[in-house]
Amino acid sequence: MVKKELSEEEIAECIPDLWQPLTQAQKDYLAQNFTIQKYKKNETIYCEGETPKHLMCLLSGKVKIFKDGVGGRSQIIRVIKDKEYFAYRAYFADENFVTAAAAFEPCTICHIPMTCIVKLLQENTELAMFFIRQLSVDLGIADERTVSLTQKHIRGRLAESLIFLKDTYGVEEDMCTLSIYLSREDLANLSNMTTSNAIRTLSNFASEKLITIDGRKIKIIDEEKLKKISKIG
C-alpha cells in the first residue's frame, strides 16, 4: 500500500497548505510520517463509528463524505476534491467518525498520523490558523446547507446540486459537461430526495432545455436559469 519513499519536493507538491508554514525540522518530521494509499472506485475510506487516526489529503480522484440516516437513506454531507483535507475533524473533537467516506472514482490519498499533526500544531501557530480557517469555512457551508436542504423544494435542491458539482469538480473541454459522473442514486443522496425523484426532476430539466443528459453524462446548458431555480427554492 505504502508507496516508495517520496522526496520532500514531491511531498511539498501534494500538501502545499500544510507544508508551507513549517520549519525545516518540522518538514523533516512530517516527511517521516507521510504515507500514500490508493483506493478503488466505490471503496470505503473510513466508516461511521471508527476511531480517526490520520489526517487525509486527497491527491487525485473524488471522494464523498456521507452519513446513513433512518431507514437506510444515505445523505452526502460534502464532497472532497483534489488537495482538500478531510478525516481530521472527529479527531480534534475527540470523537469517533460520525460520517463515512468513500471513493467516487479511483483515488490517491495521503495519510498523516493525527498525533504528528497535533505535535506540529503545538509549535506552529500558522498551521493552527490553517485548521481554524478550514473548519470555519466548512461550518459556514454546513449552516447554509442545512437551510437549503430543509427549505428548498426538489427542483431547487437538484439545481443547487448541479451548480455545486460544476463549481467543485469543474467541466470537461466543452465547457459544459460535468466532470463528475454520478449515479442517479448519488445525485439523490446529495440533494436529499429519492432516486425516482432525482430521475424525474433531471428529465424535467432536460425537457426544459436547462441540461442535456446522456447516461451519467450531464451537460449544463442554461446555468443562469438553474441558478435562479436554486435561488428561489
Partner DNA sequence: TTATCTTTGTGCTTAATAACACGGTTTTAT
Partner DNA sequence: ATAAAACCGTGTTATTAAGCACAAAGATAA
Question: Given the rule CB under 7 A, which residues bind DNA?
Answer: 71, 73, 153-155, 183-185, 192-197, 199-200, 202-203, 213, 215-216
The interface partner of residue 119, options being DNA, a second copy, none and the CB cut-off 5 to 8 Å by kind, is none
Q: In Å, what is the CA distance from 120 to each residue of 28, 47, 163? A: 11, 26, 37
Provide the residue type at 14 as one letter: C
20-79 binders of a second copy (CB under 8 A): 67, 69-71, 73, 75, 77
- In this complex, which beta carbon is closest to DNA, that of residue 81 or of residue 184? 184
Instruction: Please tell me the distance from the alpha carbon of residue 187 to that of residue 189, in angstroms, as a whole number.
Output: 5
Cell numbers for 142: 454546513
- In this complex, which beta carbon is closest to DNA, that of residue 49 or of residue 71? 71
Query: What does the per-residue mask of binding to a second copy show for 99-118, with x meaning CB under 8 A?
Result: x-------------------
Instruction: Please tell me the distance from the alpha carbon of residue 12 to that of residue 20, in angstroms, as a whole number.
Output: 8
The interface partner of residue 200, options being a second copy, DNA, none and the CB cut-off 5 to 8 Å by kind, is DNA
Q: Judge contact between 138 and 78, C-beta under 8 A.
A: yes
Whose cell is 432525482? That residue is 198
The interface partner of residue 154, options being DNA, a second copy, none and the CB cut-off 5 to 8 Å by kind, is DNA
H/E run at residue 185? helix 184-191
**Using alpha carbons only, how large is the chain's radius of gyration in Å?**
19
Cell numbers for 93: 473533537
> With binding defined as CB under 8 A, does residue 135 bind a second copy?
yes
Q: By the criterion CB under 8 A, which residues form the site for a second copy?
A: 67, 69-71, 73, 75, 77, 89-90, 92-95, 98-99, 121-125, 128-129, 131-133, 135-140, 142-152, 156, 192, 232-233
